[in-house]
Structure 1
Amino acid sequence: MNSYLDFEKPLAELERRIAELRAAADQEDVEVDIDAEVDRLEKKAQGQLATIYKSLSPWQKTQVARHPQRPHFSDYVAHAFSDFMPLGGDRAFGDDQAILGGFATLDTDDGGIKVMLIGHEKGNDTQSRLRHNFGMGKPEGYRKAIRLMELAGRFGLPVVTLVDTSGAFPGVEAEERGQAEAIARATEACLNLPVPMVACIVGEGGSGGAVALASAERVLMMEHAVYSVISPEGCASILWRTAEKAPEAAEAMKVTAQDLARLGVVDRVVEEPLGGAHRNPVTAARSLARAIAGELAGLAGKPAETLREQRANRFIAIGSLA
């Protein structure tokens, strides 16, 4: 069953009517042919969907990025990668389920590319969301990511990260275990990698918790993802003392993929299926896989120093008025 956002309510009514007609057609005692009406309503729904998603505001895109049915790390692993071998633990405290990673093969048309895959996992129901801490990484999660990056460097494997977090976990226990230091070290590990790295913002990219896994030489962003230093609600609470101003904050912060590509913060926007990645996770995952494969092909064979320099230069250039 689809979960509809507020601005999708007109579409919800159409799709509800289509479902009712199909259910009626499945009843054995119904002899009326309703195919023509279903076809008419489906075309109308598709048109409405295209109209809605062609002019989404930054706040609406934020809602799409947070959609409860939006694909997460495990979905991309299932549809865009194979031979995933998860590796756990930071060898110091424990294993953080908000950040997952391991060896994997990126599925491509010509066989596949061996990579080290790391990313945030939010979960898809109440139980799994609690287990994965809603994708909010703890220090041990970022230290696990550092360990996997170092392993990738040792074996000469490119690193692919899937970023999807509202931010690093802000709890007291995380601060006690050195959250800020772990994030800084993870960012440093990205910048010092001797192998190619491609980061993908697939949902929310929030604050340092996102940057710690996104300091790559190539940063991709899904069409309806968002990426910012703070959530629109957090920004609104600071500037206007109320989270109700979140739509205005989202507009001012330039959180969308289109704005960030124009500003040079991300390098490439990956197109999503009509209506967002949650409407067709398989197509979304395969589209992302093709984009990642293309970027890795362009980075293949470059020496470590060139990669490090490229990473440093892209971040130094952000915000430059020259």
Structure 2
Amino acid sequence: MTSKTTGTHGAVLEDTAPQDGDRPLVELRGAGKAYGNIRALHGVDLAVHPGRVTCVLGDNGAGKSTLIKIISGLHQHTEGDFLVDGAPVRFTTPRDALARGIATVYQDLATVPLMPVWRNFFLGSEMTKGPWPVRRLDIARMKKTADEELRNMGIVLDDLEQPIGTLSGGQRQCVAIARAVHFGARVLILDEPTAALGVKQSGVVLKYIAAARERGLGVIFITHNPHHAYLVGDHFSVLRLGTLELSAARADITLEELTNHMAGGAELAALKHELAQVGGVDVAALPDEQPEVPAPATAAPAGVASEAAAPATAASEAAAPDTAEGKA
């Protein structure tokens, strides 16, 4: 089963759906959001399958935050359909999304820096023991559970009593991911988890994103870094000014093509022109113009096809070595 998505610049790429017949955990069909006369999101299609990482990329103002808010239940969509397990839904609060197994890890991680790791792990959902009305925190069980869940995700901390603020940014991200998994998340939304991290800590977070995928979760990885997305992503959706610019499976697109769609060929060409005025800047690797995108095949009248086919064939033969190198 294959589908084709046409972006705002005419990009048409085949998207190969999973062959095991699994139903999307979360699906958006032509979804959009308008704030009065301002349309923040329009006509977005997105499907999140179990055991797959769906990367949503876009520059600032592309609509990524609005998309997160719709799926997490913070805002309601004003057009299109929002389906969970194949059934239309309209969440009114984030608790509705959590009840359906959709958890969001925001950039601030919703942690209290001065509290111990185990307290942050159960923040708002603490375990208690004893009869009502003198129930008290079951500290021993919370520490044991937090340690087991963190170890299941490959996170080993020597002291769960240390304030979570003393952990590195990557470690705090991993604790937030393990917490979401423990409380029954089936769909995990990660809002720019590597935005403020260094190279090493970004690698740690990407490793645990892959671990969440191996546990069968559907992961939505929001990022503006195509290199990070390509390391772990199974499907890529690029947003531009609130619309879907590109939707493609990993097998159908290279990192270079993803970067070009993310940045925009026209913007890169303009950047090259500006950088060319600065001495000592190598701009040879940047494209001269926006890369061509495949268009749907249409039947041409007899006589016209032969004239149009010759230049097209020559162009494809000339581009073949470059394409082969890019694919390799």
TM-score (norm 1): 0.31
TM-score (norm 2): 0.30
Greater relative contact order (Cα < 8 A, sep 6+) = 2
Q: Which has the higher helix share?
A: 1
